Structure 1
Amino acid sequence: MSLRSLALLSLCVVLTACSKINQENYSKLSAGMNRAAVEQLLGTPTECSGALGMSSCTWGDQNSFISVQYAADKVLMYSGQGLK
């Protein structure tokens, strides 16, 4: 394996290990948290939708994700799946 391939593989492993979508960050969420605090903790959401003061944002993919539901930009409830 070339040095370049080894460096690229190492970078991928480090980036995966540094994912903010994990059990540790999930346990830091709480009802009533404001949206800015959640985004500081988890980063930019993968997708968001909503209407009439209610919204839902998701971080991650189909296998590992955190989903947060907001009312007036405050956490109402949240869930996660496949977190490590």
Structure 2
Amino acid sequence: MSLRYFAVLSCCVLLAACSKVNQDNYSKLKSGMTKPEVEQLLGAPSECAGALGLTSCTWGDEKSFVSVQFAGDKVVMFSGKGLK
């Protein structure tokens, strides 16, 4: 049982270390990128909300995240917090 627990714990740590929400990927964001280009860089967003052609999507969690605002399908603004 302890070997299985150790294996699961190791996988979780490795997955957390492979997060695409980091300073390197944040620095690659540019105004005018399309939503599919941002998703290729950061993966699927944690959440998105929008109205009237404007959408705001967030990647990450409360401690470390990237927030991107889209007009239509293009990036107009972005910000990040807690990135390493």
Taking structure 1 as the reference length, what is the TM-score of the superposition? 0.92
Query: How many Å separate the matches in 2 of 1:24 and 1:42?
Result: 11
Letter aligned with residue 16 of structure 1: A
Letter aligned with residue 7 of structure 1: A
CA offsets per residue over residues 60-79 of structure 1, 9 Å max, x none? 11111000001111000100
Letter aligned with residue 44 of structure 2: T
Q: SS where residue 19 of structure 2 aligns?
A: coil
Query: How many Å separate the matches in 2 of 1:13 and 1:34?
Result: 31
Residue matched to 2:15: 15
**Offset of 1:51 from its aligned partner?**
1.0
Q: SS where residue 32 of structure 1 aligns?
A: coil
Structure 1: gaps spanning 5 or more residues: none
Letter aligned with residue 75 of structure 1: V
Structure 2: gaps spanning 5 or more residues: none
**Offset of 1:42 from its aligned partner?**
0.9
Residue matched to 1:80: 80
Q: How many residues align?
A: 84
User: How much identity, in percent, do the aligned residues show?
Assistant: 68
CA offsets per residue over residues 2-30 of structure 1, 9 Å max, x none? 32222122111110100111111111100
Taking structure 2 as the reference length, what is the TM-score of the superposition? 0.92
Query: How many Å separate the matches in 1 of 2:52 and 2:14?
Result: 40
CA offsets per residue over residues 26-54 of structure 1, 9 Å max, x none? 11100000111001111111111111111
Residue matched to 2:66: 66
